[in-house]
Structure 1
């Protein structure tokens, strides 16, 4: 039995490539707002600046392996964010777990990937939630092994999101998420590019509640060390 502390997922270490996610058509047009997450590095802790928002993050990911037959990934992450629409700070305390068995080169997951964050303000719980899980909805996601779907509910705004595996300018999708699209009522309202420096794209004039929810979700997703990328 081997336990490994993973310092940085290999997918993130290789993120210096220029590949970009394919954007939804309504966000691909010029004129939208692009917010870069500066200093959001591949390392296990640090501080970031994203437009008018700022904060810090810390994360770990451990892997328990048994003779290449059983694998369990578990990790924790925490972050803080302050900025427009946030009275002081919002803090996230997150955890991820995934279990997998390998039999004759086939992988079976008795415990699918799940990543959840408890959200607080000034150290006190708030009525909010954030969660992302492995997804197998429809043919496209069954063909894409590591598809994810999730939702954030914050201050009355509910925003769903799904992983993106299509790369701009190519036909074949990639196995692991290259970014996420945020949606309300089936319409894309934002997109988070994760290959390299995280970049959040949203239409100009996005309502403050939507902006706040997408910013908090973006920090949670950018802080997340996805077991699939290790």
Structure 2
């Protein structure tokens, strides 16, 4: 992820091991242990007339995580749902797809069964420009602290962006200062940069955990 090293140099780094498949354990040394459960679903439909296919597809799912340890100050869980839909136009073997309802991810964070925070992440509407990915932008609130999140689509040293995010930047909602990040370039090992501030660290961490275990379905199936 481009810029991750500079962000990490200002704070602390946590390596989070996450499951490669749907369900499994996550761990960040003695600081955090937990379990992840994922379920991804989809549906599609199409009507074909005179060799032209018109239809759409939907991708949706749910994932939960349970974390325990000093990094989360005891026990913390997350319950998240996401969905997005697309339009499709096919002529022979050629298919054009475009987002109809962009990706939306929503999470609730809980302690002892009580909601203590939320996350909302949305994909921006496509601009239609070549090689311009749909950034994901959102807000995370935990207690009385709020941060913003924005996807990063450039690998370090790359000139062309990736379609899917390779990481996220976390910024203070009041000052817009980038205070943390999560690097997603390793499928099983997520690297999280956390701020040193005691007030911003918990919300930055919970945001990073949710983004670390989220399987982004992309903007279209093509």
Q: CA separation in 1, counterparts of 2:144 and 2:136?
A: 23
Q: Which residue of 1 aligns with 2:44?
A: 65
Q: Which residue of 2 aligns with 1:47?
A: 25
Structure 1 gap ranges (5+): 1-20
The structure with the greater share of residues assigned to helix is 1
User: Which structure carries more relative contact order (alpha carbon 8 Å, separation 6+)?
Assistant: 1
With over 3 angstroms needed to count, the CA separation of the structure-2 counterparts of 1:170 and 1:143, relative to structure 1, is closer
TM-score where L is the length of structure 1: 0.79
Q: Which residue of 2 aligns with 1:10?
A: none
Q: Which residue of 1 aligns with 2:192?
A: 200
Q: Which residue of 2 aligns with 1:22?
A: 2
Number of corresponding residues: 204
Q: CA separation in 1, counterparts of 2:171 and 2:215?
A: 22
C-alpha offsets along residues 137-173 of structure 1, whole Å, 9 cap, x if unaligned? Answer: 9x7x995333101111001110101000011012111
Q: CA separation in 2, counterparts of 1:157 and 1:124?
A: 17
Q: Which residue of 1 aligns with 2:119?
A: 130
SS at match of 1:209: coil
CA contact (8 A) 1:26 1:188 kept: no
**Shift in Å at residue 66 of structure 1?**
2.1
CA contact (8 A) 1:78 1:94 kept: yes
CA contact (8 A) 1:164 1:177 kept: yes
Q: CA separation in 2, counterparts of 1:42 and 1:171?
A: 28
Q: CA separation in 2, counterparts of 1:153 and 1:108?
A: 31
**Shift in Å at residue 210 of structure 1?**
1.5
What is the aligned counterpart of 2:181 among 171, 177, 191? 191
The structure with the greater share of residues assigned to strand is 2
Q: Which residue of 2 aligns with 1:156?
A: 144
Q: Which residue of 2 aligns with 1:174?
A: 162
| Bigger Rg, structure 1 or 2 | 2
Q: CA separation in 2, counterparts of 1:142 and 1:221?
A: 26
CA contact (8 A) 1:146 1:177 kept: no
Q: CA separation in 1, counterparts of 2:192 and 2:168?
A: 9
CA contact (8 A) 2:38 2:63 kept: yes
With over 3 angstroms needed to count, the CA separation of the structure-2 counterparts of 1:142 and 1:80, relative to structure 1, is farther
Instruction: Confirm or deny that 1:99 pairs with 2:85.
Output: yes
* RMSD, aligned α-carbons: 2.6
Q: CA separation in 1, counterparts of 2:154 and 2:16?
A: 22
